[in-house]
Amino acid sequence: VLQNLSQTPVLRELLKEAKMPGTTIKIEPPELCMLCCFSFKQESQLIKLDQPGPLTLAMHQFVTEMQETKKGVVTPKELFAQVCKKAIRFKGYQQQDSHELLRYLLDGMRAEE
- For 40-60, write each residue's pLDDT tens digit: 556 777 766 677 889 989 999
DSSP letter for 90, please: G
C-alpha distances (whole Å) from 71 to each of 4, 11, 51, 61, 63 are 18, 21, 28, 13, 12
pLDDT of residue 100: 87
Q: Please, is 12 exposed, middle or buried when counting C-beta atoms within 10 Å of its C-beta (0-12, 13-18, 19+)?
A: middle
pLDDT of residue 79: 92
Sites in the chain below the pLDDT cut of 50: 34-35, 39
pLDDT of residue 41: 56
